[in-house]
Chains A and B, each alone.
Chain A
Amino acid sequence: MSAIQLNIPNELDRFLPDIVKRNYGKWKERKFHGPGIIEHVSETGERVFTVKAALPPNARVSVDTLEKFADIADKLGVGALRITIAGNVEFITDSLEKALKIREELEKLGFPVGGWGGALWGINTCTAFLTCQIAVIDAPSIGKALGDALKPYFTGEEKLPAKLRVFISGCPSGCAGGTAIDIAIVGMWGAPPKIREEVLPLCMPPPKALAKIPESQVFLVQVCPTGALTLRREGEKIKLVLVGEKCINCGRCKDNCDAFDYDPKDVGAAILIGGKMANTGVGPRLARVLIPWIPANPPRYDEIIAVVKKVVDVWKKHGRPGERLADFVERIGWAKFVELVGAPKMAAQYLWWPDAARTYLTYRARGEVIFKGFRDAP
């Protein structure tokens, strides 16, 4: 392996602000000052205030805005800001007055401040139609529409029992961060893909080689997890056949070859509920499919927003304080939850699906013998 010399930023000293460097690893307390402002108290007696604001979906920011952020950080902060994985921006400062001023400035620029404690913590979306070639639905515009609808939950005007995070992925690849999240919205083809014969040769071995190798060695056939794609040979002719009933819309063939096409009228989104990463409550788990397909109509996506709002309402009404959506669903049971949301018919399909099979987003094995997480490790 030849080495390519990269110049990676990895000096801690250079990137941490002085106040953080002085108190590195010495924090002992935290306090909240309204939505979006958190105070960390150190053993040395110093205080650091962090102000968190939402960025546009996909965290796409113009340099003009970034420059304004840098100005705010220089004027009111400690000359540094921080980006979080949820696509939020955090400003660091040393007094509450300055923090409040930062909040004012950010709100003037149109970036709502909030997102700690029992609130919406941020909406993460993949790039979808902004750059991606395999996206099925456009995630950033759903993120925007959903943000408009859920903003009161972010800024603390309306309270939630616990943390809520939403991921929106344009296709089942789940680039926005997988399905281990409270509410995941995932783009779905709806119907099995169509094969565009004229593009297919670009993804296949050359005809002479193809005639010699066994079917199972063809990459596109290998890639399909359920065996829905098969290669048929009729004398000299070779044809890639897709068995629609076996297809689970996982999109792996499309990841690897541009020849797989879909019809926009079939396209929709799946909504998955009750995953999380933290070890609190019932521990880390993947989300479950609540609604396998729902139409996704740009630019406002009313159907998706209605479902998400309904789920949030149910959780808000019946959840105990501090109980995350996953814990809540675990406590009352999936069937009861589905009934409360009012979607028993939609979800029923997933109850008779064999657990050992891969439903298009979740692999489950019945009675797993090997323990999964570090949670119950010896």
Chain B
Amino acid sequence: MAAPPNLPPPDKLLEMAEQYLKELEKGPWPSHVAEIRKTGYPLHVYGVGLVARKSPWGPSAVKAKRLTGVLARIARDWVPKGGEEVHFRVFHTPGRFLPTSYLRGIIKVAREYGIGLVEVVGQTGAMVINVRSKEVGDAMIEALRQVGTDVGGSGDAIRELNTCVGPALCEFALYDTLKWFTEFRKDKKIHDAIAVPGFPYKFKIKFSGCPMDCGRANRADLGFIGTWKGAPEVDQELLRKKIEAGEVDPNDLVSKCAGGAISWDAEKKELKIDGSRCKKCMYCIRKAYPAIKPGKERRVAVVVGGGSKGRYGPKLGWFVGYLKPDEVQKGIELVFKVIEPWDKEAQAKVRVGDYILMTGLYQFIEKTGIQLEDTPKLVEKLPDNVPYRVLPEEERKKYAQFAEELRRAVGI
């Protein structure tokens, strides 16, 4: 990008940049500038960017034996003194638990080959580690492999998978998200698709244990969200105790139920939940756990096509069916089912969600051959908004048959 107009001369610019940076170190919230000062990051470039109100970075490249996860930037020519910035996307651990022994390994690598700056969680869910210079890239990847992790997940490939903490620290997890996460990463095909970019655009896979969706799976290209069928289970005895202790207010549960499914019998002191109206909003469960628990019939809802980047802007995913909590392999197969028609037909820089908007959800389901429990069927294709059309003979026969059946049933 060109230099912004009315930029002060270099000395003045650097001075102003320093002022801006100092301003950002004040205040009670932890400051990124204060952290970055402790490292070898070219902070003046950032400061100049702030003054100029324009990103000071331009594209660059780094030579490393990796296809994904490696990114480099170089300062624009209008930035005095210049600077470069190379960083790697490094895989995070399951649930982002960092044992100190492992963390110290990462710290050592970041000191030795890097500038000592780590973005502990990037927006893809990966850890981002800055590299000292373009030359030490391969050495750093070797060192990271020694610690037990690797570099990858950028460009038009499957990105770093993302999961909520799941059963490791949360009582609401309805399936083992961390196990699904590790099983997915162990799979050879997914592993290759992470390493080698080859799709129209990025592809993100996320896992959430329950409908509260802390893993933000509803916004992934392919999301897996734990849920259940029917009504939540109610332990009336325990609930009564909780109500007597003043922990739970039954009227609050009734009034805040999103589907209006809860009714409270004050005489019998019983709480009833209508399963067909339950919207799985988790409100009653959160308030009265473990007296109200999710239903026993657990499922994993599969949503497809969320995301914020892409041709048609941000969108949430579409529901395409349920898996059972132990059907990990089916989930892995589903990834490539979803990818296949998109990869074949979509233009570059069109995400799965955009592709679904173009083809229509039902056509997409047909093309991918997704056949899961409760996969939406072709209800929408009924021509209810077209009053007249020419019916083929078989269809006319079907209607005649239907009339005949009706006639017999009514008894005319």
Contacts and interface: CB of A to CB of B under 8 A. Distances in A.
B23 A20 contact: no
A9 B96 contact: no
Interface in A262-281: 262-264, 267, 277-281
Interface in B297-343: 301, 303, 307-309, 311-319, 322
Interface in B152-206: 152, 162, 165, 167-171, 173, 176, 178-179, 181-182, 185-186, 188, 191-196, 198
B53 A267 contact: yes
A324 to B, nearest CB: 11
Contacts of A85: 96, 121, 125, 162, 214-216
Contacts of A92: 169
Contacts of A286: 314-316
Interface string A110-152: 1110000000000010111111111111101101110110010
B46 A375 contact: no
- Chain A binding site: helix, strand, loop or mixed by DSSP? loop
A74 interface: yes
B295 interface: no
Which range contains the number of B residues in contact with the other chain?
35 or more
Contacts of B225: 374
Interface string A79-91: 1111111010100
A11 B30 contact: no
A317 interface: no
A30 B171 contact: yes
A142 to B, nearest CB: 10
Contact of B123 (A55, A62, A177): A177
B103 A56 contact: no
A9 B149 contact: yes
B120 A83 contact: yes
Contacts of A124: 123
B91 A62 contact: no
Which range contains the number of A residues in contact with the other chain?
35 or more
A180 B55 contact: no
A129 B55 contact: yes
B271 interface: no
A9 B32 contact: no
Given A1-B192, A60-B36, A138-B50, A372 B312 contact: no
Interface in A36-82: 40, 48, 50, 54-67, 69-70, 73-74, 79-82
B349 to A, nearest CB: 6
A373 to B, nearest CB: 6
B81 interface: no
A299 B192 contact: no
A374 B328 CA distance: 19
A82 B164 CA distance: 11
Given A11-B182, A138-B50, A277-B216, A374 B319 contact: yes
B145 interface: yes
Contact of B95 (A15, A138, A172): A15
A280 B96 contact: no
30 contacts: A6-B151, A10-B182, A15-B94, A24-B167, A28-B290, A59-B122, A60-B35, A63-B111, A63-B116, A73-B103, A81-B97, A87-B120, A128-B55, A144-B24, A144-B32, A148-B28, A170-B55, A175-B309, A252-B311, A255-B309, A258-B1, A262-B1, A267-B53, A277-B213, A277-B219, A279-B213, A280-B282, A281-B281, A371-B319, A373-B218
A-B CB proximity, top 6 nearest: A147-B29, A178-B308, A148-B27, A279-B211, A25-B167, A174-B308
Interface of A: 1-4, 6-12, 14-17, 20, 24-25, 27-30, 40, 48, 50, 54-67, 69-70, 73-74, 79-85, 87, 89, 92, 110-112, 124, 126-138, 140-141, 143-145, 147-148, 151, 170, 172-180, 196, 219, 222-223, 225, 250, 252, 255-256, 258, 261-264, 267, 277-286, 296, 298-300, 322, 358, 360-363, 369-378
